[in-house]
Amino acid sequence: MPDNNNLYSKLGVSSKKEDVHKAIEKLDKGLFPGAFCKIMPFDIYGRPEFCSIFHADGAGTKSSLAYMYYRETGDISLFKGIVRDAMVMNIDDLLCVGATGNIYFSNNLGRNRKFIKGDIVATIIQEYYAYSERLTSLGLPVTICGGETADIGDLVKTLVVDASAFTIMKKENVIDASNIRTDDVIVGLASFGKASYENEYNSGIGSNGLTLARHGTLSHEYNKKYPECYDQNLDEKFVFYGKHKLTDIIDEINLSIGKALLSPTRTYAPVIIEILKNYRKDIHGIIHNTGGGQTKILNFGNGIKYIKNNLFMIPKIFEIIQKSSEINWKEMYSVFNMGHRMELLCNESIAQEIIQIAKKFNIDSRIIGHCETSPIKGKNVLEIKSEFGTFNYD
């Protein structure tokens, strides 16, 4: 068993992406520097009251896991979930700035043609269109505008599933997270369960931390079986060193390990749309717990001490990942969403109304914490009081 300190880094991944942030620190931050997404001050039609948002994200190494599961079971439908991951990672970021209008998507698929055949490509492309229709039916108009499929086997071992999104919105409707206040509460929307608009139980995994989840959870037998599914530069002791097979069943949620890890990232679009219809001016910030997991919030607001002391009981999949990988709990909270993937910061007076809106969609919600003044002037800090201990981050 490998040393479990800073394990994510030893797998070649950074949850905070410090080098990336350093590379862009001197670049223009857009019209609202404190917002969750970069917002450009112009509109393609030249209307001064509008702004534009162009965003990009993807399914990450979850696509490699879908490939493994397909090879093990022949179930090609899992690639549909990867498309949803790529789209939702964009959509729910856009929701954080209040963008709920027409969204235009371009998809980008990079594949190794030796392993990713035409039937997989067809499944992926068709799902972009099918899921855009589904999102539109849920009240979020989405249009697919084409994309690119590149055969780049020299660079890609299996496949990369990415997407880019574009939308415009009125400047007055932008939710700017720099408005987060020291007396705000934090309302969390659960990442697990079965929302009214989902077809099956969602483990809550989302699309972050899958490198750790794959290697720390899955058995070393996959090391030699799927050499195309990991970085050959990794120390072998970090490669698929877990305790489970992809097809092992998790009795509590009636899903296999593979399907639990591949649960499509839940979109909160229907919930956020309804919340914003009623309380847009009262929401001071919306945070999508992606890279950095529960510590993502540190990137937003000014001089805030975030205290999360009423978290959801962690979903079963995270318990399995931790037990199998033996990663410490403090790092778990900095890599995974750990039970809620969307946070709304607002005055406590409207928190119960937000919770009731989420309940209408069969999504659990609660006040998971609150804000105070940071003890370090001008610097955000975070205290997580969990069932496994108290952890501090800055």
229 within domain boundaries? yes
346-382 residue pLDDT tens: 999 999 999 999 999 999 999 999 999 999 999 999 9
In 3D, which of 53, 55, 56 has the Cα closest to residue 30? Answer: 53
| Cα 53 to Cα 43: distance, rounded to the nearest angstrom | 9
260-303 pLDDT per residue, tens: 999 999 999 999 999 999 999 999 999 999 999 999 999 999 99
What is the reported pTM?
A: 0.93
The pLDDT value given to residue 30: 87
Q: What is the DSSP string of 105-134?
A: EEEEEEE-TTTS-HHHHHHHHHHHHHHHHH
Domains contained in the chain, number:
1
Q: Which domain holds residue 182?
A: 7-393
Q: Report residue 239's pLDDT band, with 50, 70 and 90 as the boundaries.
A: very high
Provide the strand spans (E) within the chain.
Answer: 50-58, 103-111, 142-151, 159-170, 185-190, 249-250, 255-256, 283-288, 304-308, 340-346, 365-373, 381-386, 389-393
In a domain, 294, yes or no: yes
Would you state the pLDDT for residue 212? 95
Are the C-beta atoms of 306 and 382 separated by less than 8 Å? yes
Residue scoring higher pLDDT (37 or 6): 37
Residue 1 resides in a domain? no
Tell whether 11 is covered by a domain.
yes
Residue 2 lies in a domain: no
Q: For residue 24, give the CATH number of its domain.
A: 3.90.650.10
